[in-house]
Structure formats: C-alpha cells, structure tokens
Amino acid sequence: MTRPGGKGEQQAAEYLAARGYRILKCNYRSPAGEIDIIADHHGTLCFIEVKSRSGLGFGFPAESVNRVKQRRIARVASHYLQKNQRKDVPCRFDVVAVLPETEPEIIMDAFRINR
C-alpha cells in the first residue's frame, strides 16, 4: 500500500481501515487524474474521494464532488480496472468528508456513473 497524501487522507484511511476497508492503494495516478484511496470493502472495490475542510465556510466537504469531478474519478477508476484486469468485480464510489475535531463521514455509493 502506498501512503496517503495529506492529513485528511491519512485520517480517512485510518478510519476506513478500522471499519473493515482493506486499503489497496492511496493516491493512485493515471493519465486521467488521481483517486485518493482504492480499497476493498467486503468484496466490493471502492474508489474513494477524500474531501477535507477546515470549516463549513465553503459548504460541506462532500458537496465539492460535482459531476465534473465524478466523471474524472470514473475515468481514473476505469484505468485502474483495465490496468489491473479487474473488470468483473463489483465497484462503487464512496466519498469521505473530513472536518476538524469530528469523526470522518463515509458516504457509501455516493454517486453512480451511467455507462
């Protein structure tokens, strides 16, 4: 496993691992962009975007995962699946929101991409 990037990603990875996620990759890069965390959760491959904020002045962290970002994440996930020959595994997109002095919040199956 590669190490998470920032403090929020590290906090999210530890939180996920404590809840049964097996972290496979952190900061996976492809020509299409990057995914913060790739993990296995009870046989489902999870592509996880971590959003950290220092406060709510700009809204809830997960709100920044808009359609454009969702499509980019999906392209990176597709690259990972092809490169690792894992096309037939169940997958989902999760978002972890991290705010100071609170427990991270997991939004499982946060969005879906039409194929």
Of residues 57 and 112, more confidently modeled: 112
Q: State yes or no: pLDDT of 52 exceeds 70.
A: yes
Average pLDDT, the chain: 86
The CATH code of the domain that includes 83 is 3.40.1350.10
In a domain, 101, yes or no: yes
Classified as helix, coil or strand, 2 is coil
105 forms beta bridges with 97
The answer as to whether 82 is a domain residue is yes
Nearest to 14 by CA among 104, 107, 108: 104
Question: How far apart, in whole angstroms, are the C-alpha atoms of residue 20 and residue 113?
Answer: 25
Q: Answer yes or no: is 103 within a domain.
A: yes
| pLDDT level of residue 114 (50, 70, 90 thresholds) | low
**How many domains does the chain fold into?**
1
Provide the pLDDT for residue 56: 55
